[in-house]
Amino acid sequence: MSTENSLPLYAFEPGSLPAIRKPVDDYDSDDERPGNPRRWYHYVPLCIAVLLLLAPHPSILHVLLNYHYLTLHSTRYFLAHLLVIYTLFFLAFSSLIVCVARDPGPVPEAMPEGQQDAGGDLSLEDALLSAPPEDYTQPGKWCRICWRPKPERAHHCSQCGRCVLKMDHHCPWMGAKCIGLRTYPSFLHFLASITLLAIYVAVICIRGLNFAFRHPLAINEITPVHMLLLSFAGCAFTLIMGSFFGYHVYLVLTNQTTLEHISPFYILRYLPPLPPGRLSSPPLEHQLASRQRRAVRAAHARLCLYDVGWRRNVEQVFGMGAKQPWQVWAGRLLWGGGCYGAGTQFPRNPRAEDVLAELAAELIRLENSTD
């Protein structure tokens, strides 16, 4: 047969090749360029959050002016309350702006060579500030969606269309952005500022209501209505935002993210190699029987994989140190400060290897018992 008349085994028609998704460009600035473009409606929750922050201020000024200044004739308390309230309001807005404007954690293209892999015996500074070479062929080391390396504790956000370093959660109230390595300190700062502001407003308004009930003729009849509304709003925000802030304080002290805390099967990817069988290595969640799932949840409850003591856990988030310039502390006070370390590797709990080995043995035992 002549080679000139031979036909190819398969001919691709124009446009039949699957489109290759272009990886997300690296971020040289704080401007985020997500894989999924944002529409106007993505910013509606952010506008609602800003409106909720601004709405109480006419009533706050009315209470301060009519109660503390005109009724009590106390210029000192009037100015003190005004200063405290608007200082907390400024702090809350500054950290909100940082969460919206700053990139939560861009994933690097590749890791520097010539460094050792991370482990439990690394020092805190070495583990956070260095970036080791990784075997990205292993499960969970390479993102097959945005086509980038996937460092430790990084997650792919389907709504943003990209991976985020040490991703905590996707927050629609922060401009439909993720809370990650670079924005988590500012997010905590925002929660703390809002909680303190709500507590402060609720306390001064409840005290004003107490005065209005005891002296009904000494105060303007409209002012107690403003006090009642502000007291209710302050208590509601204290319960909601305070509970959320308390939960994140717990996460900081135990060195967990929200995704790691609510996803017990996340630790499966760190199990030691399993023998060949029905379970893959590492095993997948859908492969586990009910008893194996309970074993994983029990191990997750006993082990915080990155918990290295509450002091070092706080250092990882805020980079606390004895000798730091005043600019660093000013940034922490004004907007929560910045991240600490490269965010590509983290020291692990010294008990992690033992607990993971016990979990792997338990999964194998339960697997054999079901056969």
Catalogue the active-site residues. 171
3-state secondary structure of 255: coil
Q: Which two tokens stand for residue 177?
A: 């952005």
Q: Dihedral angle at the C-alpha atoms of 145, 149, 154, 156, nearest 10 degrees? A: -10
- In sequence order, the β-bridge partners of residue 163 are 156
Encode burial over 300-316: b for 16+ CB neighbours within 10 A, e otherwise.
beebbbbbbeeeebebb
Half-sphere exposure of 298 (CA within 13 A, CB side): 11
Which uninterrupted H or E stretch holds 368? Answer: helix 352-370
In 3-state terms, what secondary structure has residue 237?
helix
Structure tokens at 313: 């856990």
Q: Residue 268 in contact with residue 359, Cβ under 8 Å?
A: no
- Report the candidate in 198, 107, 182, 177 with the shortest Cα–Cα distance to residue 148: 107
Which residues, 6+ apart, have CB-to-CB distance to 176 below 8 Å?
Answer: 38, 42, 43, 45, 46, 159, 160, 170
DSSP type of residue 155: E
CA torsion 256→259→260→266, rounded to 10°? -160
Q: Which of 103, 111, 126 is nearest to 312 (CA)?
A: 126
Provide the β-strand partners of residue 156: 163
User: What size, in residues, is the chain?
Assistant: 371
Alpha helices per DSSP H over 310-351: 310-318, 326-335
* Distance separating alpha carbons of residues 253 and 183, to the nearest angstrom: 17
